[in-house]
Chains A and B, each alone.
Chain A
């Protein structure tokens, strides 16, 4: 109810209580009915002429206004009842249902009521729903006596009953008032000391003297002397009596009498300087005037008295009169506006002081006009009265005995404020409606026109007076009323921050009492509080406060809010409010709300919470959950920071079948296939079709266990414990809870550390079945850190699996879903003000009040974090079960082999298919440790390290052609093991060759279950490692090639006779061709092994077998048929085994290139023919000849030249002389003919000059060249010239014979060589005869 209504001194308090076993609901219903008729016109009340004061007949327009209340009045203010009678509860009405009892019984109830409430002056009982005949019986219409029990029926209006009550009231009031006539009225003395007022008021006086225009003089000696006081006593007594009587008149609705009595009182009290009563009388006068206006009673103000009491001069009254105001409103001249300004200024006390205004306006007044207060508008009059009243109340502080109690003073101000605000809000037009709404306190209609009497500042100044008093010393219930009233006033003034401040103060004030709530019987104040504020009201007040103090920001939701929250906000203030609210709800035992506040502070205010408070809140949170089972969401929405699938087993890697086949073929798909849909030839890199490859990392197999790495953060200063973790995804998965563990095993360390600091925290955990699973390895996230956990899980359904996050249960908080947070959005710096943001949201009527406590819980539960952070999901592809092949047995011991270089070794592996899926696809590949080295060298070549084509080919050959492994039972595998049945076994036989530098090797088997739909098939592989040690055996350490002549072996054969030579000799002997068609390959083979090895080398048909002792080198002589350029094309480019594009090498010349090609192809030819084996007991192996390198000289020995020069010697009888050994044995003095046959195998015709070069072979001991030269002419006589042009051009494939006859004169040995100078257009070169002619001449 509007306790602080301005007219409340004119209202009669009525206590309404239930009687006759009335239940609450019924009572409320009755109460509603009764309280609806709260006004009784005196006209309607049966006249009671016998009454001394309150005969309603005398003032028929008056009204009795009731104020119904269900709360039993407290006794605290009883001392004020004599001073302000309206505080007293005069009437008690019992409401109950008629239930067929006798009248006596009902009467008895009334008597009980009387006993119960002795302080009330009348007691009445009203019985509802009485049958009509009973009403007739109990309350006959003819009976006009006063009845205490009233019976109600539909046919009887409640109003008439209330009239009866009013009649009773007036009757008894008359008695009551009469009893006062002989009492000396004393000023109320508060039970609680009101001395404080005197102190504070002195302060207020200063303020008044400085800021107010009232110009009250405070004389230090305005205390009267004792003698004067005595004389004054009677006057004072009369004044007080009048005032009291007036107050009663006010209650009884006789307003004119009230006014007159107040006027009398003013006169007396002013005279006796009884300020406290004077103030009260002035206020009463104001109320009377307002009520007379309300009831429409015409009245004549006691002008003289009021003018003197109010210190109003005639001129001022004239100035304030309505006519004048209206005139001023109409006129536009300077003077009147000035006047009006100053008139406002009276209240505002900021603008021009009153004196100047009055003097300014006084010129306007007609001299000698009578002062007439009736012409003043009611608000202005009330203002004058009230200002004066306040002044007198303040003055009363000087009189020690008669100091006004704080409560009276404050309530007076509050009532006045009610009036002010009412005027402020709809006072532009003072009419009946204005008074109606004022009295009934109905919500004012919004009015934009400003009233001329009060502005906000006036009201605020009036409010300030309250704050000059110590409200805290008042009793609690009054404090509460005052604070709520103040906040209401601020609300009316649209000052929401002020209102919030008041509400906060209110909550602080009631806080200590809230805790006492449960034992309400003991404390009546608390009962009243609980009646006044129920829990939901307090909650709504606090939510209101949260909104006003901007605790409604949602940093977990919006990055804007988060920016503001951290950068600049009133965190200290907000925290203090949060703490306050925690205390309030703790006292109220509202655990639900409390939980939300905990969440709110830990989520939004962590950055400014002291560590102590963090711990406290945590403890309280745990306590709440443990003791009351409240559900609290975990306050950190960003718990889950990362998510990754661990690919722990490499051999489990799955390759999609389609992809696998592509790599196997080894042919790169053409880079650019002309797209039929896109005929343009321009390559658009953005238009490139993305390969539809399946990401291999994301393939997992149904029912197999995989591990997830989960990153969880703990932003708090305490450790948190993960109690349960579950994966949230679109299809079914199963988390293996027992396997969840911390990735790094530092759990124990941190555990012990923290629990030392805070031993309490550990013990407080609710036990749930889930905890047991986890007890073996507790998952603790240390304070302020991010921990990694391993979560093993099993996908249960094949198909696409999208993991969205985790359901995690942290400590005592409820289990909830957390999304995977990947990134935080960054707030961009805004240097300019955002206009829309700049406008403060007005917390007006239309403002949608959010409940920040609900939003925080909702935000946390629903994970509304998307505006602040970016969340991801993890996509996995779950496959049907795939076959698994594993190694059962490897015949090599421990997987190690020791091989001699080139050695062939057989072994086998046994594999088993450990799954229920058959394997119908199996592919083999191998790897050995040399590959890496070779590929490295090859790749080096492409980045600039120069390797010529020859070497490149060699590397490639070793890489691609050298088969280290060979499968021996391919056929068997194909027949027997297709498919490898579920749980079936397979044996694979291998042959391995000891490759030089090999240390390690692997057999790689790729297998799978190939189905019709290739997209769903995958290939797995298994690698079987085999360690190998390769020991050098037979190596070719040197190679040479010599031309083979008949003379070549002469010396050797004699001295040595080993198997090789014998073979060679035999070979030569059996030769039916010219020996010069052959050349000799010399191979130096070394045995690096520690045992003698049997070596067997084959070349074409030639075969050599020999034993080489350990660490010795043995030379092998092998004849090779020379090669003709005609038979082979040695100019082909050196091929690339990798099919690499041919790159011309510009670092070598054309002829060098040709030479290289020639030697390459020749070498190939040799390698094709040569084969070597070694043997040692049961071990055997091949010999590698690939380190054969041919130089130009060797090449020349092997290849037939293009031009062949042959020498023959003929005698005179035209017989060709045969060689003896390698020499021609000639006689001195005989004629011989030296025949040179030049054959042209070239494609071009040949022309040139032939030169013969005969010279004697001289002992090296005689070193005399001159002698040699001289003797040459004398030794051989040449018939012709030694140098001659070829007689004809030799065409291709033709030959020419050149004869030169000679005679040898002296015995001796000669060598006869010849040289052909080939003359061509562009170049000329020399060719020598390959085989020189050795001549031994004798007599």
Chain B
């Protein structure tokens, strides 16, 4: 059972949305959706995400896909990223202990694509401006639903 840390990062390197969750699949005795990161990892997750921005910016110019795939890893934490047309970065960190990483890659991609849809909807809100934190509970709920669906 993997745990995930998902962040949307604005153009000024500041996160505008953060979510920590775990896979809803195979959850046996733990609270479903509650991330299982050990505390010491949990603490450095933002740092990992932040440092992976370097790699995202590196690969965004050598890649014409929105989904950048797995771009970094740190001690067993893998980082996948997605970049929107507006240079907003979606970054997901997960502990890579599931056996079928191929499957993971594609579902993360699906997850990114759908979150992008949600993000565009948020962006279209006239009261929202770029790089503002996304505080909409509706957005939060929908992202969680997507997480449940794909991850």
Show the binding face of A for B, using Cβ within 8 Å: 203, 456, 460, 464, 467, 490, 495-498, 500-501, 504, 549-550, 564, 567-570, 572-573, 576, 829-831, 833, 837-838, 840
CA distance A495 to B52 in the complex (A): 9
Q: Among the listed A456, A467, A837, which residue makes an inter-chain contact with B58, where contact means beta carbons less than 8 Å apart?
A: A456
B121 contacts chain A at the CB level, 8 A cutoff: no
Apart from A456-B58, A568-B14, 20 more pairs, CB < 8 Å? A467-B73, A467-B75, A497-B50, A498-B51, A500-B50, A500-B51, A501-B51, A504-B47, A550-B13, A564-B131, A568-B131, A568-B133, A570-B13, A573-B47, A829-B129, A831-B129, A831-B130, A833-B11, A833-B130, A838-B87
Contact (A568, B10) CB under 8 Å given A467-B74, A504-B47:
yes
- CB neighbours of B11 from chain A (8 A): 833, 838
**Please, could you name 26 A-B residue pairs with CB atoms under 8 Å apart, sorted by A?**
A203-B76, A456-B58, A460-B55, A467-B73, A467-B74, A495-B51, A495-B54, A495-B55, A496-B54, A497-B13, A497-B51, A497-B53, A497-B54, A498-B54, A501-B48, A564-B12, A564-B14, A567-B133, A568-B15, A568-B16, A569-B14, A573-B47, A576-B46, A830-B129, A833-B130, A840-B12
Structural contact, A572 and B13, CB atoms closer than 8 A: no
Structural contact, B132 and A567, CB atoms closer than 8 A: yes
Structural contact, A495 and B43, CB atoms closer than 8 A: no
The smallest beta-carbon distance between A689 and chain B, in angstroms, is 47
- CB neighbours of B76 from chain A (8 A): 203
Q: Among the listed B10, B47, B126, which residue makes an inter-chain contact with A501, where contact means beta carbons less than 8 Å apart?
A: B47
CA distance A460 to B74 in the complex (A): 12
The smallest beta-carbon distance between B73 and chain A, in angstroms, is 6
CA distance A501 to B51 in the complex (A): 6
Contact (A570, B129) CB under 8 Å given A467-B73, A501-B51:
no
CA distance A576 to B16 in the complex (A): 18
- CB neighbours of B50 from chain A (8 A): 497, 500-501, 549, 570, 573
- CB neighbours of B132 from chain A (8 A): 567-568
- CB neighbours of B13 from chain A (8 A): 497, 550, 570, 840
CB-nearest residue of chain B to A470 = B75
Which 7 residue pairs spanning A and B have beta carbons closest together? Answer: A501-B51, A573-B46, A495-B54, A568-B133, A569-B14, A497-B54, A498-B51
Which of A203, A498, A568, A830 is packed against the most chain B CB atoms within 10 Å? A568
- CB neighbours of B14 from chain A (8 A): 550, 564, 568-570
Question: Which interface class (under 10, 10 to 19, 20 to 34, 35 or more) fits B?
Answer: 20 to 34
- CB neighbours of B51 from chain A (8 A): 495, 497-498, 500-501
CA distance A467 to B43 in the complex (A): 18
CA distance A833 to B131 in the complex (A): 9
CA distance A829 to B73 in the complex (A): 37
The smallest beta-carbon distance between A1001 and chain B, in angstroms, is 64
- CB neighbours of A569 from chain B (8 A): 14-15
- CB neighbours of A838 from chain B (8 A): 11, 87
**How many residue pairs, one in A and one in B, have C-beta atoms under 8 Å apart?**
71
CA distance A564 to B43 in the complex (A): 23
- CB neighbours of A564 from chain B (8 A): 12, 14, 131
- CB neighbours of A830 from chain B (8 A): 129
The smallest beta-carbon distance between A469 and chain B, in angstroms, is 9
CA distance A1090 to B81 in the complex (A): 105
The smallest beta-carbon distance between A227 and chain B, in angstroms, is 38
What mask results when residues 52 to 89 of chain B are scored 1 for a CB within 8 Å of chain A, else 0? 11110010000000000000011110000000000100
CA distance A500 to B15 in the complex (A): 17
CB-nearest residue of chain A to B47 = A501
- CB neighbours of B74 from chain A (8 A): 467
CA distance A569 to B131 in the complex (A): 9
- CB neighbours of A490 from chain B (8 A): 54
The smallest beta-carbon distance between B148 and chain A, in angstroms, is 24
- CB neighbours of A576 from chain B (8 A): 43, 46-47
CA distance A838 to B132 in the complex (A): 14
Among residues 1 to 42 in chain B, which have CB atoms less than 8 Å away from a CB atom of chain A?
A: 10-16
CA distance A454 to B15 in the complex (A): 33
CA distance A549 to B53 in the complex (A): 12
- CB neighbours of A550 from chain B (8 A): 13-14
Structural contact, A570 and B46, CB atoms closer than 8 A: yes
CB-nearest residue of chain B to A501 = B51
CA distance A798 to B14 in the complex (A): 55
Among residues 87 to 132 in chain B, which have CB atoms less than 8 Å away from a CB atom of chain A?
A: 87, 126, 129-132
CB-nearest residue of chain A to B134 = A568
- CB neighbours of A568 from chain B (8 A): 10, 14-16, 131-133
CA distance A500 to B11 in the complex (A): 19
CA distance A498 to B79 in the complex (A): 13
- CB neighbours of A496 from chain B (8 A): 54
CA distance A831 to B14 in the complex (A): 17
CA distance A802 to B106 in the complex (A): 70
- CB neighbours of B58 from chain A (8 A): 456, 495
- CB neighbours of B54 from chain A (8 A): 490, 495-498
CB-nearest residue of chain B to A580 = B43
- CB neighbours of A829 from chain B (8 A): 129
CA distance A500 to B52 in the complex (A): 11
CB-nearest residue of chain B to A840 = B13
CA distance A203 to B99 in the complex (A): 12
- CB neighbours of B129 from chain A (8 A): 829-831
The smallest beta-carbon distance between B54 and chain A, in angstroms, is 4
The smallest beta-carbon distance between A1191 and chain B, in angstroms, is 76
- CB neighbours of B47 from chain A (8 A): 501, 504, 573, 576
The smallest beta-carbon distance between B129 and chain A, in angstroms, is 5
CA distance A549 to B48 in the complex (A): 12
CB-nearest residue of chain B to A500 = B51
The smallest beta-carbon distance between B133 and chain A, in angstroms, is 4
- CB neighbours of A460 from chain B (8 A): 55
The smallest beta-carbon distance between B47 and chain A, in angstroms, is 5
CA distance A886 to B51 in the complex (A): 78
CA distance A826 to B51 in the complex (A): 33
CB-nearest residue of chain A to B71 = A460
- CB neighbours of B52 from chain A (8 A): 497
CB-nearest residue of chain A to B10 = A568
The smallest beta-carbon distance between B117 and chain A, in angstroms, is 20
Q: Among the listed B15, B75, B87, which residue makes an inter-chain contact with A570, where contact means beta carbons less than 8 Å apart?
A: B15
CA distance A1109 to B84 in the complex (A): 107
Q: Among the listed B12, B43, B48, B73, which residue makes an inter-chain contact with A464, where contact means beta carbons less than 8 Å apart?
A: B73
CA distance A1058 to B14 in the complex (A): 110
The smallest beta-carbon distance between A1092 and chain B, in angstroms, is 88
The smallest beta-carbon distance between B91 and chain A, in angstroms, is 12
The smallest beta-carbon distance between A546 and chain B, in angstroms, is 13
CB-nearest residue of chain B to A455 = B62
Which of B51, B130, B132, B133 is packed against the most chain A CB atoms within 10 Å? B51
The smallest beta-carbon distance between B113 and chain A, in angstroms, is 22
CB-nearest residue of chain A to B87 = A838
CA distance A826 to B11 in the complex (A): 22
